[in-house]
Amino acid sequence: MSLSRELLSKYANFRLLCLIGGGGFGVKKLLLITSLFLVSFLYLSACKGPSGPPGPPGPAGPAGVGLTEEQASTLEAAGVLATNIPFPALEAVNRGCPACHLLVDPDTGAYTLAFEAFERAKARGAEHPPAFKPTDDVNVTTCLTCHAVGTGPNEGKGNMAPWSLRDIVHPAHMSSQVFKLHYGGNCFTCHNVNGEGDWEVLSEAVDVNEKGVPNPNKLPIPGALEIK
């Protein structure tokens, strides 16, 4: 391709020079250059016969060489993406509130259920009723004394609080990337469906295998509470 284009341009030069020569231009320098040119390529181009068939393709180059800049940067971007898409391997399946909500920081109370109550009320600019301290290891049954489903004038709310617990924990967990991605959390993290088809709340950490299936030697699941 590049060779024949080169020949073509040489041929064009040759034609031009012939024209110039025929027109009677007497510039010596030009003629000198012209003749040098002519000698060097006349038989290559002007006298050349029809070109032969193309030769066989050359051997493949070494891997990696020969990518265009665009291909190389696309490949690099794909590599970076592949190593950054989170697909965490779970160390364990957690079921029951205290499987995650336990005291890990004695100064703040993080992350007991009590701590969550104070923390989230504060985030709204309010103060949680001091029914317990953030460091207290409070069971969800205590939360439900005020955050059970309200009736009568409290319909749609908690029985003694602005929200029922379900209205807090459902969106807060199912919208949390930490809950879903880090813990692999789902409905059965907090629930069991019993023999009557009713949802139970898992108030204690459940002894489970790597799939979350409860230990058969500890059934019915301890702390699985009927929802009223």
Query: Would you count residue 166 as binding ligand HEC (CB under 6 A)?
Result: yes
Residues 108 and 114: their CA atoms lie apart, in Å, by 11
Stretch that binds ligand HEC, among 7-15, 37-45, 78-86, 114-122 (CB under 6 A): 114-122
Among 138, 206, 208, 221, binds ligand HEC (CB under 6 A): 138
Largest CA distance in the chain: 115
Strands ordered across the beta sheet of 199-202 = 191-193, 199-202, 224-226
Decide: helix, strand or coil at residue 195.
coil
Residue 41 vs 179, nearer CB to ligand HEC: 179
Q: Is 141 an interacting residue with respect to ligand HEC (CB under 6 A)?
A: no
Q: How far apart are CA 184 and CA 159, in angstroms?
A: 31
Q: Return d(Cα 200, Cα 188) in angstroms, integer.
A: 10
Structure tokens belonging to residue 4: 């024949």
C-beta of residue 165 within 8 angstroms of C-beta of residue 159:
no
The answer to whether residue 161 forms part of the interface with ligand HEC (CB under 6 A) is yes
Q: With CB under 6 A, what is the number of residues at the site for ligand HEC?
A: 52
Using the rule CB under 6 A, is 131 a contact of ligand HEC? Answer: yes
Tell whether omega for the bond before 183 is within 30 degrees of 0, i.e. cis. no
Per-residue x/- track, 195-214, ligand HEC (CB under 6 A) = ---xx-x-------------
β-bridge partners, 214: 208
Candidate residues 10, 103, 110, 128; the one interacting with ligand HEC per rule CB under 6 A: 128
Using CB under 6 A, list all residues that contact ligand HEC. Answer: 94, 97, 99-101, 113-114, 116-117, 120-121, 124, 126, 128-129, 131, 138, 140, 142-149, 160-163, 165-166, 168-170, 172-174, 176, 178-179, 183, 185, 187, 189-191, 198-199, 201, 227-228
